[in-house]
Structure 1
Amino acid sequence: MPSVKAVIGLVICILGSVSTDMAGECNMASFYLELGCTPDVMGTNQPCPQSFTCPNLHPDPTMCYYKGVSYRDKAPIPQNAISNPCSQACSCSLFNGEPRFLCAAVDCFETFDSDLNQQCINTYELDSCCSTGTVCGKDAIASLKTCEVDGKSYREGEMFEPLNTKKTCVCAAGWNGTVDDPTFCRDINCGIEIHYQSDILQGCAPVFVGDMRSCPIGFECPSSDNKVIKSLNIKNLSAQCVFGNMTLTVGDEVTVSDTCTKCTCSVPPFVNCVRKNSCDS
C-alpha cells in the first residue's frame, strides 16, 4: 500500500500537469492562474473550468500589489521576485492617486545580417529577455543541434513556444520534448499585475487578439457609454462577471467604443474582450 507521502506527491504531480495543460488549452486560464486565482470545480464533461475564484487583488487603492505582496509609493519589487525577465527595476508609483508599477525600459538590439552569404542566428538563454549570443556562418549553423517541435525545426539556442502550452523553451542538445523540464522551458508570464495595475483596480476587461490563451494586449475600462446586452444563461452558471460597477451573467455582452472589439462575460469573474484581426467598420 503506498505511503501517505507518495499519494500526496502523486496528487501534486497530477495537479501540476493539469495546470500546465489548462494554461495552454483553456480560454482565460493562463490569465487567471497568473493572478493567483483558482479554478472552480469542473464537471466530468468539462475539460476547462467555467469560472475562477480570485483573491482580493487590490484591497488598498493607495498601494501597488504583485503576487499578493503590497508595495508603497516608490517601493521596488525585488528582482528575484519578478517572473518576467523583460520586467526590470520595477517600483510602485502613485500617479494622480492611481497605483502603477514603473519599470526600466528594456531594448533588445537583435542582430539581423543583411548579407545573405553570412547567415546569422540569434541565440538565447532561458532566463534572458534579449538574445545573449550570435552564431554566424553556414557551417557553424549547420553544426548546431536541432529540436523538432510541432513540425518545425529549431537550432540550438533558438527560442520557441510549443503549441497548446503557455511555455517558452530554448532548444538545447539534451532536448527530449518534455515541456515540464525547467532545464529547457519556463512558464510565460505576461506581467499582468506589473503592466496593468490600475486597470485591475478599476475592474477593466482584458483584451485579446485571436484566442484568450495568449497575453492580453491591453484592457477595456468602464465608461458612462457602456451598455449591457443581456443574453440567455445557457450554461446556467451562478458565477458572474464584474465590469466596473456593472454585474453580468454568463453570455451577457457589454458595448465598448471600439466596434472591432467584442466584450463578453464567458469565464467569470472578469469580462473578456477579443479584438478582430481585421475589421470592416
Structure 2
Amino acid sequence: MQTATLFLVMLLSINSISSENSCDKMGTLIYEDIGCTAINIEGQTCPERFRCDFTKLNASSCLFKGKEYFDGEAIEEHLAEASCNVRCTCKNGTFGCHPRGLCRKTFEPNAIFCYSKRQLGMCCPTEVVCPPFAHDAFQCQVDGERYNVGEEFTPKNTCLICICRENFTGEFDEVSCARQNCAAQLHETNAIEQGCAPAYFQPAPSDLFYVPPNKVGYVAVYKKFLNTDTLCCPDDWICPQPLDNVTVIENERGIYSDLECKYGNKTFKFGEGFKQRIYRYRKSRHMKCECLLPPLLTCKEQ
C-alpha cells in the first residue's frame, strides 16, 4: 500500500508538445538517415522532395550518412551505437559490422515494477531499477503514458527516441530526445544505391519480439512498435522485378505534377505506383508502392 501511495505522489504530469504536424508521417527519416538534402518550397512545413547523391570517388568505397568511407576505413563508433552495431568497416563497397549481441542479462528486468534505465544514443540499458524507488522515480507523462526517470519512450507521431529525465518540461529537445538511428546503409547499401523502395509494414503482435507479460516493459514495447502514424525506419526494402505492373494510383497532385521518383531504372511520376504482394516475416503482405516523397518510392502495407 505504501508503494502504491508513493507511486501516485511522485508522478509529475506534463503535457507533451503536439506533434500532429510532424513530417515523420511522410517518411522523411530514411532520407535524413542516408544523408540526403531536403528541398523545401516557401509556405510548406515539410520538404517536397530530397536530393540524394550516391556518387563515390572510388568503387570500393562506402557511403554512410552523407560521408564516404574508403576501403578498410571504419566509421565512428558513436554513429552506429544506437543501432546496436559496432566495429563497422568498409570492405569492397559494403560495410561489415559486429553485432553488439544481447545486452547482459543483468540489465533485463525480471521482477514486476522493475524497469531498465537507459542513456540517449546507447544500445543497451545501463542498469535495472526496482522498488523501493527514489523520490524522483516517476517523473514524466507523455501522450497519456507514465515513464520513469531513465526510461525510454517514443512520442506519438514522431520518429524520436526519448529518455525520461528529472525536471522534464515536455520539450522534445536534444537533451531528452534524438532521431531514431536506422543506420540503413550498414546493411542495405546495394538496395539504397540501386533505387529500391523503403517498405513499411503494419505491425502485429506476431511481428514483435517476445517479452513475458509479467515484465513491466511488455506494454511499452508493444506501444512503441504500434506507433503506425509515422514512417520511421523501414522494415524492409522492395527492389524492382521484371513483372512489376505500373498503374496510376493518383494523378491529381497540382503543383507536384512534375516531381518524379526512381525505382531501379524506372521512373514514376508523382502519384504513380504499383501494388505487389510479398512474403516477409512468416506473413503474406499486400503492399502499395507510390511516388509520394521523391526520389524514392514509398511502399506501405495495405
Aligned-residue offset at 1:218: 1.1
Preserved contact between residue 26 and residue 48 of structure 1 (Cα < 8 Å): no
Aligned-residue offset at 1:36: 2.6
Aligned pair in 2 of structure 1 residues 130, 81: CA closer, same or farther (>3 Å)? closer
Match of 2:264 in 1: 244
Normalization by structure 1: what TM-score? 0.77
User: What is the rounded CA distance, in whole Å, between the counterparts of 1:58 and 1:257 in structure 2?
Assistant: 34
Question: Which one of 212, 217, 223 corresponds to residue 235 of structure 2?
Answer: 217
**2:195 aligned with 1:197, yes or no?**
no
**2:142 aligned with 1:149, yes or no?**
yes
Question: Which one of 260, 263, 267 corresponds to residue 289 of structure 2?
Answer: 263
CA offset digits 1:114-161 (Å, max 9, x no partner): x55xx4211111131111101122x22675142111111101111111
Aligned residues: 247
User: What is the rounded CA distance, in whole Å, between the counterparts of 1:142 and 1:217 in structure 2?
Assistant: 40
CA offset digits 1:23-75 (Å, max 9, x no partner): 6544121222222323333353x443332222336575432111232223332
Aligned-residue offset at 1:21: 8.7
User: What is the rounded CA distance, in whole Å, between the counterparts of 2:20 and 2:36 in structure 1?
Assistant: 16
Aligned-residue offset at 1:230: 3.1
Preserved contact between residue 135 and residue 141 of structure 1 (Cα < 8 Å): no
Structure 2 unpaired stretches of 5+ = 1-18, 202-227, 279-284
Question: Which one of 49, 53, 65 corresponds to residue 51 of structure 1?
Answer: 49
Preserved contact between residue 117 and residue 126 of structure 2 (Cα < 8 Å): yes
Aligned-residue offset at 1:202: 1.4
Coordinate RMSD, CA, aligned: 2.6
Match of 1:111 in 2: 108
5 Å-filtered alignment, 1:1-281, equals 24-42=23-41, 44=43, 46-56=44-54, 61-82=59-80, 84=82, 86-94=84-92, 99-106=93-100, 107-108=102-103, 109=105, 110-113=107-110, 115-116=111-112, 119-137=113-131, 139-140=132-133, 144-180=137-173, 182-209=174-201, 210-211=228-229, 213-231=231-249, 233-236=251-254, 237-258=257-278, 260-276=286-302
Aligned pair in 2 of structure 1 residues 143, 177: CA closer, same or farther (>3 Å)? closer
User: What is the rounded CA distance, in whole Å, between the counterparts of 1:37 and 1:222 in structure 2?
Assistant: 22
User: What is the rounded CA distance, in whole Å, between the counterparts of 1:170 and 1:59 in structure 2?
Assistant: 39
Give the letter aligned to residue 101 of structure 1: F
Preserved contact between residue 29 and residue 159 of structure 2 (Cα < 8 Å): yes
Preserved contact between residue 88 and residue 105 of structure 1 (Cα < 8 Å): yes
Preserved contact between residue 22 and residue 29 of structure 1 (Cα < 8 Å): no
Normalization by structure 2: what TM-score? 0.72
CA offset digits 1:97-118 (Å, max 9, x no partner): xx321211122244132x55xx
Preserved contact between residue 157 and residue 230 of structure 2 (Cα < 8 Å): no
- Secondary structure at 1:200's aligned position in 2? helix
CA offset digits 1:68-87 (Å, max 9, x no partner): 32223332112244473522
Aligned-residue offset at 1:177: 1.1
CA offset digits 1:184-239 (Å, max 9, x no partner): 22221211222311111211100012455221011001121222113553114211
Aligned pair in 2 of structure 1 residues 201, 77: CA closer, same or farther (>3 Å)? same
Give the letter aligned to residue 40 of structure 2: V
